[in-house]
Structure 1
Amino acid sequence: MDPNRGVPRRGLVWRFIQACIVAAAFLFVTDTVAASNAASGLSDASRESMRVPQWLYLSTGGAVIGASALLASFVTDRGFIREIHDWQRNRSLPDSVRRSAVAAVRALGVVGLVVVVYTGVTGPQIPTVSFAILVTFVGVRAGLTMVSYLVGNVWRVLNPWRTLTEYLPAGYVSYPSRVGRWPAVFGLFVLVWIELVTAITTRPAVLASVVVGYSIITITGAVLFTPDTWFHNADPVSVLFRFYGSVSPVTRDSTGVSVALPGSGLVESEPVDGFADVAFVIALIWELTFSGFVTTTAGAQFVESVVGFGVPPLLVYGSLLLGGYGVFAGAYWIGAKLTRRTIATYVTPQSLALRFAPPLLAIAAGYHLAHYAGFFVSMSPSLTTALTAPFSPPANPLVLTLPDWFGGLDIAFILLGHLLAIFVAHVTAYDLFPSRLQAIRSQYPFVAVMIGYTVLSLWIVSLPSATPPYLG
């Protein structure tokens, strides 16, 4: 029997509002705990000196996800769910304005690539004033990625390699369809490894060399397989920005821009359409978790203890990178199998894994915002100086000191990403299953996986930072 039969739409709206209020209350409690830690200067202290027990603050964060999932189950009216999801506003742009903007952004991307390589080789080898370092890691790694999931993906237009290869003859080799986006998965791990074990974040000349090597590979691939094929399937940077852009409330097409609710583009299984895409989405979450862990005191102590047994440092980092990813991917796959067993559906675990993977992109966006928002804000004056005077670096670069309460935002960003993921999973479940009971119960295993991701991320951001050992 339909539990909502006879319930007025106004009652359903009130239930949804109540759910949001309770979830916000949990979020406020958790944020207050984190803010009190930061205010006490505990971010640089040992964990034993925390005024609030760490287990309490971690369990509170996990409770936010669990409670929000339970509260979302009260919203079971399919028409109301679809009404929320389908809300959208469109705005057309004149062709002349759109063409001029595209041309300007493309030119900016090509000029930026040239200046990054030039200043990396000839400019000062000081990371805090180097145009190459600041633009690559503050502007692109942090800032442009945040723009992708907050405002919309502009990389397709800004991408300098796409702009260059569109003027070259291409399409000499057919791209094998069975390969899918596995090259992008492999490429993402390669980029994470290079960022970890090389000096590209501190030595501009090394960064310039890597950019040149990346340019050769990318241009060659685009010429062989056509730019559309290469950047849609094999280029890890393009796939990363496109996936993050699917979380954004703003989308762009040939006529103008559309504004919808955040995460609306994740429900129809776009952009995930294969197991390589699922692997890439999980890799986005894990690479942020991995990067965060190895730059904490706990991560440094773990590496040092394992190396103490005679294991080479690079083997320790490599095993942690791949082994941790295996744990994350395995947990998600177990969740898909448990879902099928729990609700006794004809839908296969493979199909469930594909349909429930897009909500994970909201989690990845929350993780990224938590890891890089403070970094971007503190380095924004230096980035601004580099952009306005790329060939005249200042003698004393300006770096902002963030207030103590800013650390509490890291917790809020992680939890908000998970709350959005739960809402998208809720809409997906009701789109997939005809039974309300099946739709509700299908989310439980995946929510359990999300809670595990949440607690681990909250634990990492609560730890003092440290320099990864054994990496020159």
Structure 2
Amino acid sequence: MSSSDVPRDALSRSLVIAVLGFLLSIAVIDEVAASNAAVALSDASSRTIAVPQWLYLATGGAVIGASAILASVVTDRSFIRSMHDWQKSVPMWVPIRRGALYLAQLLGVAGLAIVIYRGFVGPQIPTVNVAIILVFGGVRAGLTMVVYLVGNVWPALNPWRTIARRLPTLGRAYPSRVGRWPAVGGLLLLVWLETVMPVNKVPAMLATAICAYTVITLVGAVVYTPESWFSNADPVSVTFHFYGQVAPLRWSADGVTLRPPGFDLRESGAVATTADIAFVVALIWELTFSGFVTTATGVSFITAVVDAGVPPLVVYALLFVLGYALFLGAFRFASRVTRRTGETYLPPRTIALRFAPPLLAIAVGYHLAHYFGFFVSLLPSLVPAVVSPLSPPANPVVLTLPEWFGGLVIGFVLVGHLLAVWVAHSQAYATFPSRLQAIRSQYPFILVMIAYTIISLWLVSLPTASPAFVS
């Protein structure tokens, strides 16, 4: 389809978006230091990664242009539908599936026991204690990447789910009006504790936190049944559930289904309530928050505010709560603006539910940008920890990342953004009957996505530092 087939009004609006977005990227990126360590809440790699400023400007402009093109030029509904309908199913022999499930359950329970045991009795040195390495290098970074790059294996690995299914249950009905709000609060609380408490540096404290989490989780699963609890209230399970929506593989009792990454987001129904929207935005915000407080700029800002007389924990709390409110408010505001730009009678809540799934692609790109380098640098310590968890190495090895890793960091953020824009584009054509409505409806959300992406690019460009007052 040629550009002449696209309404001039739509093209003009796209040009406005491109110009505004590019100017915004220049305004933000112009003050960026050209170095970065692509790690979060970790000292795994102390060497910074050089990222030239021209590369940020070029990639930022490319993202803006690609967003405008996708929103206004790729308008063939049959082409979009055919792209998202493609899938391939592969059956799995039942004995193999059952054997893999039992093995995963055994590994999950054994891993939980080892983390708690070694957290208390192992050496209280984070770089050699298997509890720290497994939780932050193995689960926080590695397993999360497996979930969104391959498929959600957490339901099989989840040790608390395995234990809860073997306990008696009271079978009380989970309150539907509560939905996933406990998971939203739980995720934000876990991120807060990870930031203000040295659970990633003191193995005994990490083991204590996991014990408390175990008690709360098992009590909730016994009261409300494991299915209800892990589907709604458990923040770890819900996190992996949403990340798994981007993965190319879907596991079922019949076998495995392959689809292009993220292409199932449009019709998966993963985001069905307001709490789901809040959780998806929280996934983006928690990475943004942890990324900011571990940069030299973030440390300087927090130090300046504390020097003005504000207690450190109050500064972190205000930054955490107000930042999340801003991210969530920006997305909800975009849904209200879309009601006008799309000239539709759909309520803003319905529009928000339709356009929230693409944000998962941004969260995936941001997580990969922050944790891929961390995972690679920690891999020489992670492998021995998994092979022999009871005998830590005397001299742990941590890799120093080469400078070209900076290009990967940028690429991860931008690929996540482009996938999000494409999914939003296809969702618009599935929601609105008019081509002009579908094009116009995307503008507010594209601007919000651009803002998220620019903030991500800015943060990964900054030199890292230990969080002030809480490290």
Q: TM-score higher than 0.5 here?
A: yes
Shift of the alpha carbon at 1:79?
1.0
Rounded Cα–Cα distance in structure 1 between residues aligned with 2:432 and 2:392? 58
Rounded Cα–Cα distance in structure 2 between residues aligned with 1:260 and 1:337? 32
Answer yes or no: is the 8 Å Cα contact 2:51–2:461 preserved in 1. Answer: no
The Cα offsets for residues 106-154 of structure 1, whole Å up to 9 and x where unpaired, read as 0100010001000111111111111100000000000000001100000
The Cα offsets for residues 51-104 of structure 1, whole Å up to 9 and x where unpaired, read as 95x5x6555444233211222132211111111111111110100000000000
Partner amino acid for 1:442? S
What is the correspondence of 1:165-184 to structure 2 with a 5 Å cutoff? 165-184=164-183
Rounded Cα–Cα distance in structure 2 between residues aligned with 1:145 and 1:291? 16
What is the correspondence of 1:217-296 to structure 2 with a 5 Å cutoff? 217-268=216-267, 270-296=269-295
Work out whether 1:447 is the aligned partner of 2:446. yes
Shift of the alpha carbon at 1:333?
1.0
Look up the match of 2:69: 71
Look up the match of 1:16: none
Look up the match of 1:101: 100
Look up the match of 2:314: 315
Answer yes or no: is the 8 Å Cα contact 1:293–1:460 preserved in 2. Answer: yes
Work out whether 1:415 is the aligned partner of 2:414. yes
2:128 match: secondary structure? coil
The Cα offsets for residues 299-336 of structure 1, whole Å up to 9 and x where unpaired, read as 00110111111100000001101100011111111111
Report the identity percentage.
56
1:264 match: secondary structure? coil
Q: 1:203 to 1:262 in 2, by over 3 A?
A: same
Which ranges of structure 1 fall in alignment gaps of 5 or more residues?
A: 8-25
Look up the match of 1:344: 343
1:91 match: secondary structure? strand
Shift of the alpha carbon at 1:392?
0.7
Answer yes or no: is the 8 Å Cα contact 2:132–2:200 preserved in 1. Answer: yes
Answer yes or no: is the 8 Å Cα contact 1:61–1:454 preserved in 2. Answer: no
Rounded Cα–Cα distance in structure 1 between residues aligned with 2:5 and 2:421? 26
The Cα offsets for residues 338-389 of structure 1, whole Å up to 9 and x where unpaired, read as 1111121011111111100000000000000000000000001100010111
Moved over 2 A (4+): 2-7, 36-39, 43-47, 56-66
Answer yes or no: is the 8 Å Cα contact 1:4–1:77 preserved in 2. Answer: no
Work out whether 1:436 is the aligned partner of 2:435. yes
Answer yes or no: is the 8 Å Cα contact 2:334–2:448 preserved in 1. Answer: yes
What is the correspondence of 1:128-167 to structure 2 with a 5 Å cutoff? 128-167=127-166
Shift of the alpha carbon at 1:5?
11
Answer yes or no: is the 8 Å Cα contact 1:249–1:263 preserved in 2. Answer: yes
Shift of the alpha carbon at 1:3?
8.1
Look up the match of 1:397: 396
Rounded Cα–Cα distance in structure 2 between residues aligned with 1:44 and 1:198? 21
Answer yes or no: is the 8 Å Cα contact 1:183–1:234 preserved in 2. Answer: yes
2:256 match: secondary structure? strand
Answer yes or no: is the 8 Å Cα contact 2:46–2:400 preserved in 1. Answer: no
Partner amino acid for 2:275? A
Rounded Cα–Cα distance in structure 1 between residues aligned with 2:48 and 2:108? 44
2:211 match: secondary structure? helix
Count of residue correspondences? 439
Answer yes or no: is the 8 Å Cα contact 1:269–1:354 preserved in 2. Answer: no
Partner amino acid for 1:71? I
Answer yes or no: is the 8 Å Cα contact 1:153–1:245 preserved in 2. Answer: yes
Q: 1:167 to 1:368 in 2, by over 3 A?
A: same
Rounded Cα–Cα distance in structure 1 between residues aligned with 2:155 and 2:165? 12
Answer yes or no: is the 8 Å Cα contact 1:267–1:427 preserved in 2. Answer: yes
- TM-score scaled to structure 1, two decimals? 0.89
Q: 1:471 to 1:75 in 2, by over 3 A?
A: same
Answer yes or no: is the 8 Å Cα contact 2:129–2:203 preserved in 1. Answer: yes
The Cα offsets for residues 242-272 of structure 1, whole Å up to 9 and x where unpaired, read as 0000000111010111110111221025211
Answer yes or no: is the 8 Å Cα contact 1:382–1:399 preserved in 2. Answer: yes
Look up the match of 1:303: 302
- TM-score scaled to structure 2, two decimals? 0.89
Q: 1:45 to 1:232 in 2, by over 3 A?
A: closer
Which ranges of structure 2 fall in alignment gaps of 5 or more residues?
A: 7-21, 37-44
Partner amino acid for 2:421? I
Partner amino acid for 2:433? P
